[in-house]
A = this chain, B = another copy of it.
Amino acid sequence: MYTTISGGVCAAQGFRAAGLHVGVKTHNQDKKDLALIVSDAPCVAAGVFTKNVVKAAPVLVTKKHLENGCVRAVIANSGNANACAPAGEENALRMCRAAASALGCRPEEVLVASTGVIGQTLKVDVIENGVPELAGLLERSGAASDAAAHAIMTTDTVKKEFAAEAVIGGKIVRIGGIAKGSGMIHPNMGTMLCFLTTDCAISRDMLGAALKEVVGMTFNRISVDGDTSTNDSCCILANGLAGNPEITEMDDRYVDFVMKLHEVCYTLARMMAKDGEGARHLITCTVRGAASEEQAEAISKSVISSTLMKAAVFGCDANWGRVLCAMGYSGEQFDPEKVEVAFASAAGEVLVCQNGRGVDFDEELAKKILSEDEVDIDIAIQEGGESCTCWGCDITYDYIKINGDYRT
């Protein structure tokens, strides 16, 4: 039903992008630090943002601009979060004004985002000086999406970009996106930056509902380190150029759109968890047999967030006791005597716990299973028929290294 396509944030019709080094990141001239995404046609847009009480200035400005109902562009920098920093809102607004002036639109039609160090004044002048050159680079191409994806990276080791297409209402509709996020990643809104574009014709209400629904099932189900950042933003722009009949209610076409959006966000979320700072393993934890999806989600999140479990996976140690321990402090009630735990990967599957007790298992096989890049923890609790999957990563020496000296 879905087809993966290239082009990232430029996959959908009418979207152009660019990325450039303008000087926010001072240490490395090779690292791009300013991204621009522009739609040729006016867009409806929606966003989901951090629940942290301490919100970065661009989050506040973007929320305000989304109320206008019409969006043309997104400008985003890396290297500085513009959070808890002097003149935060003014500087975020200046970024919007610079983009608007180069693009010939109104500043209120520009969304803005920042990521990087908290608490330092944003060098907004280098951004303003760089915007005209950046705008000159705008194009609709895979290379342009790639440049924008790189320009929002901080400690990320791989760029995160994905796009897919499907037929909705007889027309080919495309959704693509770029994302960043490697540390300060914890499920409570999409703990990261993510910009999505689509040429689908869809009303603003339906776009907002779809984004909220999909973020809850994808970005809100990943965790790297339990820290919910001040800057998390996930925005989607829809310009309607696909020409499909506009989606205005929760009908079959809405469901088709949600499923496609899910595909894109699911892929970007997994990329993010896998590229968790210093991570060597992507950990996928599925809880089955739960009384409700909420119960399954709470237990699964507790497992992927456990530092001890993460350290065990780093050591390729089938220490399922830590899985049970983390389940037990999830806040959910369940009968420990009915719990089943298995580890699985491309190398095989091994049942390690049944009826809440350890079972004899092949330690060599378990080690082999846990040595793979992608590891599954499969849990069954026999309380009902609901399930949920969350994603995380292991904690490694490199996580400590990266975060012991990030600011200086």
Given contacts A119-B353, A312-B406, contact A321 B83 (CB under 8 A): yes
Q: Is the beta-carbon distance between B404 and A311 smaller than 8 angstroms? A: yes
A-side residues, CB < 8 A to B, are: 51-55, 81, 83-86, 117-121, 183-184, 186, 188, 225-230, 305-308, 311-312, 314-315, 317-322, 324-330, 332-334, 336, 353, 356-358, 363, 395-397, 399-408
Given contacts A226-B226, A227-B308, A400-B396, contact A321 B53 (CB under 8 A): no
Q: Is the beta-carbon distance between B358 and A312 smaller than 8 angstroms? A: no
Q: Which residues of B contact A399 (CB under 8 A)?
A: 311, 400
Closest B residue to A405 using CB positions: B315
Q: Which residues of B contact A51 (CB under 8 A)?
A: 329
Closest B residue to A54 using CB positions: B328
Q: Which residues of B contact A55 (CB under 8 A)?
A: 328, 336
Q: Is the beta-carbon distance between A86 and B357 smaller than 8 angstroms? A: yes
Q: Is the interface of A mostly helix, strand, loop or mixed?
A: loop
**Stoichiometry, copies per complex:** 2
Q: Which residues of B contact A307 (CB under 8 A)?
A: 225-227, 307, 395, 403
Bound Cα distance A328, B229 (Å): 9
A183 contacts which of B225, B308, B317 (Cβ < 8 Å)?
A: B308
Bound Cα distance A55, B84 (Å): 42
Bound Cα distance A177, B319 (Å): 31
Q: Is the beta-carbon distance between A227 and B404 smaller than 8 angstroms? A: no
Q: Is the beta-carbon distance between A333 and B53 smaller than 8 angstroms? A: yes
